[in-house]
Amino acid sequence: GIQVEQSPPDLILQEGANSTLRCNFSDSVNNLQWFHQNPWGQLINLFYIPSGTKQNGRLSATTVATERYSLLYISSSQTTDSGVYFCAVEQIKAAGNKLTFGGGTRVLVKP
Amino acid sequence: KAGVTQTPRYLIKTRGQQVTLSCSPISGHRSVSWYQQTPGQGLQFLFEYFSETQRNKGNFPGRFSGRQFSNSRSEMNVSTLELGDSALYLCASSFHRDGTVMGEQFFGPGTRLTVL
């Protein structure tokens, strides 16, 4: 099956710093989503971005589908950005669909 | 519009028991998927239901089963619980435009299951 790798696995930032999280995938995909998992476990949707670039406030994401990677940018980080960020991809198949998740990037933003 | 809801939020069971978890999708969403999250294995796909039919199943033993009702609500059942079934179980729903294309998936808050 498709492999999804996220880097770095851990990231410690000072408040106000910028960072880039990367997601590589091993095959072509029809869907790519970025999530932030809060301390209570809920996955919060950040971006639905199978290709192209999107921005939402201090966060932006770019997916280059032909090169099989996606990037999540966090600018002017805040302590509330702490948590685990997941990239998940989906391939449409006749037998049904599923999201395959990367291992996540654990982000800690220090005040 | 209300989000995906899951009940119960927390559950403690003992080995050998069975458990049923419930998921109500976002109104209008007909696809429901279930995922298991553990520290060792990460987030893994369990199964997906669309219009009361299981369309895809992950690599889990037959003790894990599910179903979907006509109102799109879904339940998953785990029989003969093992210690390794302790996990966060997440449900997601999405809107299918044409019955095959998956749109953006939205997750519920999860059910945290502890097996003693």
Rg (CA), chain A: 14
Whether cis (ω within 30° of 0) applies to the bond prior to B8 is: yes
Taking CA atoms, B22 is separated from A5, A48, B32, B37, B53, in Å, by 31, 26, 11, 16, 16
- A34/B1: higher pLDDT: A34
B54 contacts in chain A (CB < 8 Å): 96
Question: Could A40 and B106 be called an inter-chain contact, meaning their C-beta atoms sit closer than 8 Å?
Answer: no
Say what the pLDDT of residue A39 is.
86
Residue range B5-19: average pLDDT?
98
Res A96 pLDDT > 80: no
- Is beta strand B87-94 parallel, antiparallel or unpaired with respect to A4-7? unpaired
- What is the tens place of the pLDDT at every residue in B54-103? 988 999 999 999 999 999 999 999 999 999 999 999 999 998 755 566 67
Say what the pLDDT of residue A92 is.
75
For chain B, the maximum distance between any two Cα atoms, rounded to a whole number of angstroms, is: 43
The distance of Cα B68 from the centroid of its chain, to the nearest Å, equals 10
Res B35 pLDDT > 80: yes
Q: How far apart are CA B110 and CA B116, in angstroms?
A: 19
- What is the tens place of the pLDDT at every residue in A15-50? 999 999 999 999 998 899 999 998 889 999 999 999
Strand positions, DSSP E, chain A: 4-7, 10-14, 19-25, 31-37, 43-48, 52-56, 59-64, 69-74, 83-90, 99-101, 105-110
Say what the pLDDT of residue B99 is.
56
Res B11 pLDDT > 80: yes
A103 contacts in chain B (CB < 8 Å): 42
Say what the pLDDT of residue B2 is.
85
Rg (CA), chain B: 14
Which of A42, A48, A97 has the CB atom closest to B56's CB atom?
A97
Q: How far apart are CA A94 and CA B52, in angstroms?
A: 17
B55 contacts in chain A (CB < 8 Å): 95-97
- What is the tens place of the pLDDT at every residue in A71-84? 999 999 999 999 99
Question: Could A42 and B109 be called an inter-chain contact, meaning their C-beta atoms sit closer than 8 Å?
Answer: yes
Where residue B51 falls among pLDDT bands split at 50, 70, 90? confident
Angle (CA) A94-A104-B3 rounded to 5° is 65
Taking CA atoms, A20 is separated from A7, A10, A73, A89, B105, in Å, by 9, 12, 5, 18, 23
